[in-house]
A and B are shown apart, each in its own frame.
Chain A
Amino acid sequence: MADGTFVNDAALVAAKDLRLELRSRVAVSQVVPFAVLLLVIFGFALDGDQTTLQRLTSGLYWVAVLFAAVLIVQRAFAVESDDGVRDALRLAGMRPASVFVGKAGAIFVQLIVLEVLLGVGVAVFFGTTLTGWGLLIASAVVAAAGISAAGTLYGVLTAGLRVKESLLPMLLLPVLAPVLIGATRAMGAALGDVAVDGWSWFNFLAIFALIYVALGLFAFGPLLEES
């Protein structure tokens, strides 16, 4: 198969997933409100104190992103496991690697939208002034890439299992610990909360994303086969 088909297949899968999300509106009506709710809960838990919330913005922001990401990943596979879409994709002769890129791509797009909305959320609820836009955006993009690659791997693994609701976060969150640390640091540096070199954390996040994309390309085939 030529490389054109690879990209094409991936784009088809991603477009399919995004279309499903657009039409079902679950992401808009449940995941986003949940993420915003998390910000509000942090506000309650931390005494509604704006200075504390501003100081902790980067950490709270990324915790909210991670928890919402678990839901997005679960959604991405739940919508298809009932109809046997995974088998259909295999029957259609698509290579597992391109299915992986497609699924991860759709999750990535949703994460980016979520990150933007949560960015507005922290600006509104915590009163945080967003600065250092270059680093902020770049690190958010690579972190989303890492989360979606690792999430896609675990998503297909737990899809269709009865215990998936508890198993997915248990597997995914420890693995994403480096992303949480790196993204929090990078955002903290961009906002000027911590005096660290944010761009080196950007590099770290990029390496994480690359490793997990590579792992996904390699391991998605065997995982897809198993249903």
Chain B
Amino acid sequence: MTDTTTNPPGAGMGAPTRSGDDPRNTASKGTRVFGILSLIGIGWLVALGLGLSPDDQTQGDLVRLMYVHVPSAWLAYLSFGVTAMGSIMYLWKRSEWWDLVAASSAEIGVLFTGLALVTGMIWGRPTWGSYWEWGDARLVTTLVLFLMFLGYLAVRRIPADTHVRSRRSAIVALIAVVDIPLVHFSVKWWRTLHQEATVLSSDFDPKIDDLMLFTLMVGLVVFTLVYVWFMLHRFRVAWLEEQLLDHSLADAIEARRAEAVGTGATT
């Protein structure tokens, strides 16, 4: 493997890396470490979650879904938190770097929000008797969050100048994040004012088995590692795309100049 590790923030992609030995992938030593740790962690989580940890007294094997569901939900909120921070930092510093951080994180966030929703619904069917429960504020809020960030990604895909796109999407992300507490509050209040107790208060037993708690913690750590791993790669891809755009324009201008010189015209 060539040692042209592309280190986006500092070094950028100079001309030499583009000619000849362009990087085959976005990996570097650091990401490989994260990747190996993530994979080992996933193996461990599977062993713990599916084998070693005990059944729940009331939920039986269903509780094992929690080891995927809760970490996915955590990543959903973590990644949108990072997107919000990236957007604020972009509006403040006007640096593409932050915009790409926000974009990469949002993409990963949509993936894990989807996963959290699907696992939640699969869990809900045998537990609540229905895939969907309007009374659960977290569930409904997560769905609205999911939809808003699909909108965010749609805004990002609109062709525009880099800085126009960045500014536009930063503000969309900001509006979405401001809306989240409002949605959560309104849904919560909406249902609790309407019907008294829901089945959902027994979402989690406060008294949770030690090994189950441990498995859940492992799940959270492993998923966070996966997030960092995905983030590094996604960010580097986004960065390379930006560089490609910049350089291809520069190259085109260069070629045009050379042409003009070749025909004897002054530049």
Q: Write the residues of chain A forming the contact surface with B, with a CB cutoff of 8 angstroms.
A: 150, 153-154, 157, 161, 163, 167, 170-171, 174-175, 177-178, 181-182, 185, 194, 196-197, 204, 207-208, 211, 215, 219, 222-223, 225-226
Contact = CB atoms under 8 A, between A and B. Distances in A.
A99 to B, nearest CB: 16
Nearest to A176: B179
Interface of B: 91, 144, 147-148, 150-151, 154-155, 158, 160, 164, 167-168, 171-172, 174-176, 178-179, 182-183, 185-187, 189-190, 193-194
Contacts of A153: 171, 175
A90 to B, nearest CB: 15
Contacts of B183: 177-178
Contacts of B172: 157, 171
A171 B194 CA distance: 28
Dominant secondary structure at the A interface: helix
A65 B179 CA distance: 20
Contacts of B182: 178, 207-208, 211
30 contacts: A157-B155, A157-B168, A157-B171, A157-B172, A167-B155, A170-B150, A170-B151, A170-B154, A171-B148, A171-B151, A174-B147, A175-B179, A177-B144, A177-B186, A178-B183, A178-B185, A178-B186, A181-B187, A185-B193, A194-B194, A196-B193, A196-B194, A215-B174, A215-B175, A219-B171, A219-B175, A222-B91, A223-B168, A223-B171, A226-B160
A12 to B, nearest CB: 25
A197 B171 contact: no
Contact of A204 (B175, B176, B186): B186
Nearest to A182: B186
A153 B151 CA distance: 14
Contacts of A178: 179, 182-183, 185-186
A204 B181 CA distance: 12
Contacts of A175: 148, 175-176, 179
